[in-house]
Amino acid sequence: MRHLYSLFFYLIIPFVLLRLQWRSFAAPGYAKRWLERFGFVHPQKQTIETKIHKKIIWIHTVSVGEFLGALPLIRELQAKAEYHLWITTTTATGSDQVVKSLKNSVDHSYAPYDLPGSVNRFIRRVKPAILIIMETELWPNTLAVCKKNNIPSILINARLSEKSARGYARFSALTKPMLQDLSFAAIQQDQDAKRFFDLGLNSAHAEVTGNIKFDISLHQDLQNKVQLLRQEWDLNPTRLVIIAASTHQGEDEIILDAFAKVRAQENNCCRSARLILVPRHPERFDFVFQLCQSTSFSTVRRSSGEPFAQKDILLGDTMGELMMLYGASDIAFVGGSLVVRGGHNFIEPAAWSLN
């Protein structure tokens, strides 16, 4: 079954490359570093020099959300002198976030496609001692190659919805061996664990550990940045700040209409309310900015550096600042729930005790 899967993957490579090219028109980051997706990666000079003395830990995080969720663990591992980290992502936005957060303190590349040649090439060049996968980015060939090379693979913060479990079950001949190649799984909840076990994961190789994202902490330097931001924006208890984050196509119009209704209220707090609007995907930044400008409200982009103090709407078009923007707000809406997609994680606004 795995050979048929690999053959299928090889056959669709031209279509995958066409899709990357198509996405590159909206997000140019997808057009860069294509060879990395086939395992042609190059370690930093410092990695080559320290590889003899340090174990390389390969951590895979699909995109921004998974990377930020794994960041506390990454920081902990970085504090240990015997390890050096190689972080992979699948998306361009995830890649940008790794570079912004960690700079050159880690090696970073796109994850190789799940083809034996690509994965083997990546492992020969990186020589990882262990693979850590955030959430549920499971690939049959990747896990099989790791097992063949005696590289333990650990799934952390694992989750599996009922819908996803049904999808995996349709390919049980592929799913069961894949899960049996997994060395260990740290699973979020009991119901997630049951779905994994039903699909073939050995219960002896798993433990329910909770959601790593609940380990979020509001560091003092972050709180200081929020305080400075609120001062810069001239915020006070009579000026209500509403943040709508991780919005999808079709939600921004609804939010802007709701904001207009809030501003139409008679009390002082609502009349002076302001909106921070943060689209989920960077390729939508320009469109949403134009949408905001089409209203009667004054709008400024966060990336412009222009002051927000006298404006009505701030478009959050920067990466890595969402946690700080939540901290500067009073009320939060987390996107995905106004369209047929499903709402995103609200742990970050909850950490700030937002309404």
User: What residues are labeled active site?
Assistant: 66
345 residue type, one letter: N
230 is written with which tokens?
A: 């609120």
CB burial string 203-228: b at 16+ within 10 A, e below? eeebeeeebbbeebeeeeeeeebbee
DSSP string spanning 259-279?
HHHHHTSSSHHHHT-EEEEEE
Closest CA to 204 of 189, 174, 182: 182
CA atoms of 42 and 36, how far apart (whole Å): 9
Burial class (CB in 10 A: 0-12, 13-18, 19+), 18: exposed
Q: In Å, how far are 8, 37, 91, 96 from 22, measured between CA atoms?
A: 21, 16, 14, 19
155 DSSP β-pair partners: 133, 185
CA atoms of 255 and 253, how far apart (whole Å): 5
Sign of the four-CA dihedral 280, 34, 40, 139? positive
Phi, psi of 7 (to 5 degrees): -60, -45
Contact (Cβ atoms closer than 8 angstroms) between residue 111 and residue 89: yes
CA atoms of 107 and 42, how far apart (whole Å): 9
98 is written with which tokens?
A: 């790794």
Contact (Cβ atoms closer than 8 angstroms) between residue 248 and residue 280: yes
319 is written with which tokens?
A: 């990466």
Which H or E element spans position 117? helix 116-126
